[in-house]
Structure 1
Amino acid sequence: MKIVSLVPSITEALFDLGLTENEVIGRTKFCIHPQDKVKNVKIIGGTKNIHIDTIRALKPDLILANKEENIKEQVEALMADFKVMVTNVETIEDNYYLLKNLGKLLGQEDRAQLFNLKIYDILHQAKLETKVKAAYLIWKNPYMTIGSDTFIHRILTEIGFENIFQKKTRYPIITTEDLAEAEVIILSSEPFPFKPKHIEELRAIYPDKKIIIVDGEAFSWYGTHIAKCEHYFRELISEIHAMQF
């Protein structure tokens, strides 16, 4: 089966489930894992600016897309000529079924189940002892955060944080004043690449707050990626426990 993936985390999952560059024949420029394998796969644009003619030339048997990450009109254009599977992952349960369905599709049910069990173990072992009120920022100018109907929110709450913006949905714009309730301000490494200088900017406003930068992939990449974050989450939880609130 020849597959084009329009979703970075799904591209990673395909390789983790045993596919090779012979089966995954197209990917976006943001599909960066696993590096040693994706480097040999044809780039078909970005997640939001797919090169449809390039995909047509590849003649895939299946195209894997995502409701949130890809543009509806572009995906529908591909549907006219190809079989397209559109995924939608907002919860841990959604992710479970994504891997289960991919495993069934690829004849890799056992491998998919092993990843699901690993993810379950990681998320149930990496737990804060007490809830910590957090604000998770994904963008700057303007500042944007995450609401309760996002995958990031599910991971955040699963490991013991309380999202102070849980009453909001999707990715709302906020101001620095809205961060007052947070015990810890979490800056994600993606999609906006927050750096130490951005910590200092917020510290000028909130000198007593805990402000950290986290690996955005650990919180936002669904599929198999979380199964590789056991050490990262353990270290993060230890870092939070060492803070004085």
Structure 2
Amino acid sequence: MKQFKDQLGTLHSFETAPKRIISLVPSQTELLYDLGLEEKIIGITKFCVHPYHFKSTKKVVGGTKKIHFEKIKLLQPDIIICNKEENTAEIVEQLSSICPVWVTNIISIEDNFQMITDFGQLFNCRTEAQKWNDKLTFALSDFKKYIQDIEIKKAAYFIWKNPFMVAGDDTYINELLKLNHFENIYANKGRYPEVELKKMRLEGDPDLVFLSSEPYPFKEEDAFEIGRFTHHAKTIFVDGEMFSWHGSRLLKAFPYFKILHERLRN
């Protein structure tokens, strides 16, 4: 019997590496696939869009906040993968009656490395996990060299409308904003604060306003509405997956960030 501790500190015991995996976290579904575990993944959410073919080859068991408990139970999983931010504590508790529920908690890039290491040990794919961590370490080092001479700009990163909400402190998005030399004007307002557009200039007067593609898909009319309340800010639509998906997606995020900075120079 081997014991493993997840990122909430919960201890899980397994006699053998889990062979029937359900993932309720889109970015972690992608990571499990990239770790070579496709054959072991039996259930996903409707938001698990990468890799694309999973929609037709894996059983969809609901979303990240609403699940089909009976569908999950019938699949007889050995383990269910959740995330503290994506899934509710109630879902984790409910599913714990079926099998062990592994919960990740990714705030920093270090947390991301730890999750990949944990999956390597948990699913007996240590070599693949190490390869991914090596690739990410190299890419992170390269990006830090690239970014070191780029000046810091004040930014606001919008994730929702009605009400307007932004990414604040103690979030993975904020960590990637800092990495990119974007100073989050809402970093001291909580994790995902609601904001009043008319107060934006008083609260930090950002140079850049980022409108994410997810979880709310912002459109041109939203950019126009928000733009009325900024002084000189440039409004930019950004790929939410690159800023908020952890796991192996981070490797694709670094070249995306470089392109973003090139756009900002022009």
Aligned twin of 2:226: 202
Q: Tell me if the contact between 1:137 and 1:188 (Cα under 8 Å) persists in the aligned partners.
A: yes
Aligned twin of 2:37: 19
Change (3 A) 1:178 1:204: closer
Worse-matched range after superposition: 112-121 or 228-237:
112-121
Q: Tell me if the contact between 2:198 and 2:229 (Cα under 8 Å) persists in the aligned partners.
A: no
Tell me, in whole angstroms, the C-alpha distance in 1 between the residues paired with 2:259 and 2:134.
21
- SS in structure 2 opposite 1:12? helix
| Aligned-pair identity (%) | 43
Q: Alignment partner for residue 156 of structure 1, among 177, 184, 191?
A: 177
Aligned twin of 1:171: 192
Q: Tell me if the contact between 1:147 and 1:167 (Cα under 8 Å) persists in the aligned partners.
A: yes
Matched, 1:191 2:232: no
- SS in structure 1 opposite 2:57? coil
What's the CA shift string for 1:115-156, capped at 9, x where partnerless? 223333434415261101000010111110111100100011
Matched, 1:52 2:69: yes
What's the CA shift string for 1:149-201, capped at 9, x where partnerless? 00100011111111111112210000113321101111111001012222122
Tell me, in whole angstroms, the C-alpha distance in 1 between the residues paired with 2:254 and 2:109.
16
CA shift for structure 1 position 76? 0.7
Aligned twin of 2:242: 218
Q: Alignment partner for residue 102 of structure 2, among 44, 69, 85?
A: 85
Aligned twin of 1:110: 127
Q: Tell me if the contact between 1:63 and 1:82 (Cα under 8 Å) persists in the aligned partners.
A: yes
TM-score between the two structures when normalised by the length of structure 1? 0.93
CA RMSD of aligned residues (A): 1.5
Q: Tell me if the contact between 2:243 and 2:253 (Cα under 8 Å) persists in the aligned partners.
A: no
Change (3 A) 1:225 1:14: same
Q: Tell me if the contact between 1:123 and 1:158 (Cα under 8 Å) persists in the aligned partners.
A: no
CA shift for structure 1 position 211? 0.5
Q: Tell me if the contact between 1:147 and 1:172 (Cα under 8 Å) persists in the aligned partners.
A: yes
> Structure 2 regions of 5+ residues with no counterpart?
1-18
Matched, 1:63 2:86: no
Tell me, in whole angstroms, the C-alpha distance in 1 between the residues paired with 2:166 and 2:227.
18
